[in-house]
Amino acid sequence: MRQLTVQLEERSYPILIGSGLLAEAPQFFEQYGLTKKSPLLIITDENVAPKYLAGLEQTLRAADYTVVSAVVPSGETSKSLSVYQDMMTVAIEGKLDRSSAIIALGGGVVGDLAGFVAATYMRGIKFVQVPTTILAHDSSVGGKVAVNHPLAKNMIGAFHQPELVLYDVDTLQSLPPRDVSAGLSEMLKHGLIRDEAFAHWCEEHAEELLGLDPEALGYGLERGCGIKAEIVSRDERENGERALLNLGHTIGHAIEAIAGYGEFLHGEAISIGMAGSALLGEKLGAPAGLYDDTVRMLRSLRLPVTMPKHLDTDALMDAMMHDKKFREGHMVFIIPDRIGAARIVKDVPVSAVRDVIELLKEGAE
Ligand SMILES: NC(=O)c1ccc[n+]([C@@H]2O[C@H](COP(=O)([O-])OP(=O)(O)OC[C@H]3O[C@@H](n4cnc5c(N)ncnc54)[C@H](O)[C@@H]3O)[C@@H](O)[C@H]2O)c1
Ligand SMILES: O=C(O)C(=O)C[C@@H](O)[C@H](O)[C@H](O)COP(=O)(O)O
Ligand SMILES: [Zn+2]
């Protein structure tokens, strides 16, 4: 088992990554403070439930935990206020109390939704992240929890750290190829912002990663989580450095909202956004070649680097104004200087962003 720690003083917690960990959930839950005297609520989705829910429920009940479960539709549309309200109803009817915990069994959608329920139920109860996607190496760490507003991504949310991240990598073997690639997008992002060697490693090991080779996946998840944990430990609430984790997200979130949630997977939209950030980087003085290198790396992971022409530039520009980094009238972007290093740039010219959006359209020169 690989173990990392998110260092946040009294809110510190471990990230446990390994094979067979779901079967050991009761021991870990007990070790990290989940009481057996109050019910647990497992929130999962329709794709994950048939594969992993019954097993987890049985293991927990055999260890004397009381378990209530809720299954939401799979996909981005479940990060909504209406599904959030349904989860609140299940929690109230299931008699969760202030000592209860919520278990997020699934990918980033379930993690963000369940985490937001935990952050707000009775003004906040414990929760545990049990990620089942590659992408969730990012979403399960750091405590950003949220649902979407139709106009903008992750608009209704909180910072609420889990007690534990229990990452059973065996679950990843059942992921569809499109979700494998989407998850690798955020893995590469961690290399692009902080670790040049890791970014190259992702490209060099693309075929093993896409083929779900356990050794490659284990290392990639450990390094990706490690970079995220280091940054979050220094800047939990995104007052500075944490914004680097948003590379590609200003454009990516706008694509997700304007195309309609679920049309593009999050990792796919972020991939297009990272290609756009590299273009912006070159416009703002980064060495030529940065865009080509970035695009080559993204393509090696079978990720898209262009968007359909029909996505309206004005609508995308409007959506970008809702970015959480937009403050005091300034458009703020994460701009790569080179592979492995990026910086926060305040007041990026709107005209440069508009040019980049046009260049990202399919068929543009
Ligand atoms: N909080 C954060 O810091 C953070 C970071 C990155 C992304 N996110 C959010 O995460 C979400 C994307 O996460 P995601 O890509 O994991 O999406 P997801 O949760 O929708 O999972 C992707 C798909 O895989 C299915 N699935 C999950 N586990 C499976 C398994 N083991 N086997 C087979 N199918 C499985 C799901 O049902 C879904 O259809 C977005 O909403 C994004 O905004 C949050
Ligand atoms: O943890 C962070 O900080 C990130 O930015 C990670 C991103 O991958 C993630 O998509 C996050 O949810 C985006 O946050 P937001 O504040 O832009 O909504
Ligand atoms: Zn993301």
| Ligand 1 pocket, CB under 6 A | 45, 47-48, 51, 74-76, 79, 106-110, 112, 132-133, 135-136, 138-139, 142, 144, 154, 171-172, 174-175, 179, 182, 186, 265-267
**Closest alpha carbon to 110 in 9, 42, 13, 196:** 42
In the chain, the largest separation of any two C-alpha atoms, in whole Å, equals: 63
For residue 227, give the amino acid letter: I
Q: Is the CB of 186 under 6 A from ligand 2?
A: yes
- Centroid of ligand 1 to alpha carbon of 140 (angstroms): 10
pLDDT string in tens for the chain (365-residue length): 999 999 999 999 999 999 999 999 999 999 999 999 999 999 999 999 999 999 999 999 999 999 999 999 999 999 999 999 999 999 999 999 999 999 999 999 999 999 999 999 999 999 999 999 999 999 999 999 999 999 889 999 999 999 999 999 999 999 999 999 999 999 999 999 999 999 999 999 999 999 999 999 999 999 999 999 999 999 999 999 999 999 999 999 999 999 999 999 999 999 999 999 999 999 999 889 999 999 999 999 999 999 999 999 999 999 998 889 888 888 899 999 999 999 999 988 899 999 999 999 998 86
Residue 249 to residue 286: CA distance in whole angstroms: 19
Q: Is the CB of 138 under 6 A from ligand 2?
A: yes
Residue 256 to residue 265: CA distance in whole angstroms: 8
What is the predicted pLDDT for the residue at 327?
84
Nearest CA to ligand 2 atom 12: 144
With a CB cutoff of 8 Å and minimum separation 6, the contacts of 113 are 43, 72, 78, 79, 83, 84, 87, 104, 145, 147
Nearest CA to ligand 2 atom 13: 246
Q: Which residues of 254-285 are buried (b: 16+ CB within 10 A; e: fewer)?
A: bbbbbbebeebbbbbbbbbbbbbbbbbbbbbe
**pLDDT tens across 188-239, in order?**
999 999 999 999 999 999 999 999 999 999 999 999 999 999 999 999 999 9
CB 72 within 8 A of CB 43: yes
Please tell me the number of the ligand nearest to residue 245's CA: 2
Residue to mutate (ligand 1; options 22, 42, 109, 113; most atoms within 8 A of CB): 109
Residue to mutate (ligand 2; options 112, 138, 271, 324; most atoms within 8 A of CB): 138
- Centroid of ligand 3 to alpha carbon of 66 (angstroms): 33
CB 224 within 8 A of CB 137: yes
Residue 146 to residue 20: CA distance in whole angstroms: 29
Catalytic residue positions?
123, 144, 186, 228, 238, 242, 246, 249, 253, 266
What is the predicted pLDDT for the residue at 182?
98
- Centroid of ligand 3 to alpha carbon of 245 (angstroms): 8
CB 134 within 8 A of CB 221: yes
Q: Which residues of 286-323 are buried (b: 16+ CB within 10 A; e: fewer)?
A: beeebbebbbebbebbbbbbbbeeebebeebbebbebb
- Cα four-point dihedral sign 187, 226, 322, 85: positive
**pLDDT tens across 86-141, in order?**
999 999 999 999 999 999 999 999 999 999 999 999 999 999 999 999 999 999 99
Residue 150 to residue 258: CA distance in whole angstroms: 9
128: three-class secondary structure by DSSP: strand
Six-digit token string for 207: 């075929």
Domains and CATH numbers, the chain: 2-174 (3.40.50.1970), 177-360 (1.20.1090.10)
Q: How many CA atoms lie within 13 A of 206 on its CB side?
A: 16
Q: CB 146: neighbour CB atoms within 10 A?
A: 21
Residue 308 to residue 361: CA distance in whole angstroms: 6
**H helix and E strand count, the chain:** 14, 11
Average pLDDT, the chain: 97
CB 266 within 8 A of CB 76: yes
